[in-house]
Structure 1
Amino acid sequence: MSFFNTNALESPSLETLWSDLRSGERYALEAIYRNFIQDLFNFGMSLHADETLVKDAIQEIFIDLWNYRSNLCSEVNIKQYLFKSLSNRIQKELGKKARRSSIHWMADHEILVDSTEEELIQSQLDSEISSKVKNALANLPIRQKEVLQYLYFEKLSYEDTSKLLDINIRSTYTLAWKAINALKKVILVLSIHFFFFTGL
């Protein structure tokens, strides 16, 4: 089947695309790429701030999709499958380079704090707060970053997140708690700083 087949022109469902990919239809691979490339790039950049590495990792997972298409499961959530594949690929590349990741958190993400702390940050509009919170995010382990991404930005359940991370639900709760607790500690320190030194 050529790229310009009737199925492609009729905008087939994701289920159909996945089935066609498993059957060796190249148009399906290209359509899946177009559907998810932006989400994958944003997700990859939220895990590691190296654009070249992220783009290479995305390319690799699509190469693998094509090379191992006959071994793919028949029923999957394509977006979650691609996210998990990209996360694994990025972590593998970071391991090869034997260096800690530099996490980039997209500027338009909401900060995961409770309403009181959120009001504090919004009311200050101070570059020091923004910088310190971003640094705190950047210093979180990549698995904590990943669990926050799935739970709060992709709106996945704890059960789905645990499956993506290949850990049990209790461990997922623990990772999320540690990440949020680390951010709250930074907010608390900033609150004390502004209380004593700015008269707030």
Structure 2
Amino acid sequence: MELEHERDIWGDFKKGDWHAYTLLYDTYYKRLNNYGYKFTRDVALIEDAIQDLFVKLWTNRETLGEPSSVKNYLYKALRHALFRKIKTQRKFTLAPTENYDYTFELSWHDHLVVDEDERELQRIIKDVTGKLPARQQEIVYMRFYEGLSYEEIAEIMSININSVYKLWYKTVDNLKDALRHLLCVLLVYCVSRTGTEG
């Protein structure tokens, strides 16, 4: 959940308010960790990047600007920090804007899914999105699971808005056939659920 008064908290943090700083950390740590996990399975690397990010924020707090969205600012900063760390560790051989690992994970429920139809539906969605190139998986995640606008996605991915639109249209084209199949499965699932509940 985003902070209700994030601009005020950001301003207090920039003035050296430790409570505001820890509030930012506590609020965004889990989301940043989840976002980082989309790029690498190296949990220690992700945690290290997040720690470095927050240390750098504290150290440079007086010179930081006023982002329109703290969450987007942190996502973008973490993305760059991870790419730098991965490249430094030589686990990353291509430029971050060209190709990178991005794993699409579904987390529809916090509880264990026990229904076989639901498991099948989740498997299909994961398979469909897992076949997309990494950048397309990332845009699906940001657009649908984070609810970000095209402008916010452009800012986080450090690309212009037209590139986001092109990437989105390519993604939609790649998903069309797979989504038709998914909609059929979803329809069967909904009909079967209605039949068992009524």
Determine if the TM-score, normalized by the shorter chain, exceeds 0.5.
yes
Question: Which is worse superposed, 96-105 or 28-37?
Answer: 96-105
TM-score by length of 2: 0.67
CA distance in 1 between counterparts of 2:4 and 2:152 reads 26
Equivalent of residue 43 in structure 1, options 24, 35, 52: 35
Code of the residue aligned with 1:170 in structure 2: it is N
Number of aligned residues: 169
The secondary structure found in structure 1 opposite 2:138 is helix
| Structure 1 runs not aligned, ≥5 long | 1-10, 111-122, 191-200
**In the TM superposition, what are the counterparts of 1:182-193 in structure 2 within 5 Å?**
182-184=174-176
1:125 shift after superposition: 7.1
Q: Which residue of 2 aligns with 1:66?
A: 58
Instruction: State whether residues 49 and 102 of structure 1, in contact with CA within 8 Å, keep that contact through their aligned partners in structure 2.
Output: no
Q: Is the aligned partner of 1:92 residue 2:84?
A: yes
Would the alpha carbon gap of residues 92 and 145 (structure 1) be closer, same or farther in structure 2, given more than 3 Å must change? farther
Equivalent of residue 145 in structure 2, options 147, 153, 164: 153
CA distance in 1 between counterparts of 2:53 and 2:16 reads 16
* Residues 88-137 of structure 1, C-alpha deviations (whole Å, 9 max, x = no match): 12222232333474433222259xxxxxxxxxxxx97786x976764564
| Larger Rg belongs to | 1
Would the alpha carbon gap of residues 158 and 52 (structure 1) be closer, same or farther in structure 2, given more than 3 Å must change? same
Code of the residue aligned with 1:66 in structure 2: it is W
Q: Is the aligned partner of 1:32 residue 2:31?
A: no
1:138 shift after superposition: 4.1
The secondary structure found in structure 2 opposite 1:47 is coil
- Cα RMSD of the aligned pairs, angstroms, is 3.4
Would the alpha carbon gap of residues 138 and 92 (structure 1) be closer, same or farther in structure 2, given more than 3 Å must change? farther
1:166 shift after superposition: 2.6
The secondary structure found in structure 2 opposite 1:107 is coil
| Structure 2 runs not aligned, ≥5 long | 94-98, 110-115, 183-198
Instruction: State whether residues 45 and 54 of structure 1, in contact with CA within 8 Å, keep that contact through their aligned partners in structure 2.
Output: yes
Instruction: State whether residues 101 and 134 of structure 2, in contact with CA within 8 Å, keep that contact through their aligned partners in structure 1.
Output: no
Code of the residue aligned with 2:102 in structure 1: it is I
TM-score by length of 1: 0.67
Q: Is the aligned partner of 1:80 residue 2:65?
A: no
Q: Which residue of 1 aligns with 2:14?
A: 22
Would the alpha carbon gap of residues 126 and 72 (structure 1) be closer, same or farther in structure 2, given more than 3 Å must change? closer
Give the percent of matched residue pairs that are identical in Structure 1 and Structure 2. Answer: 28
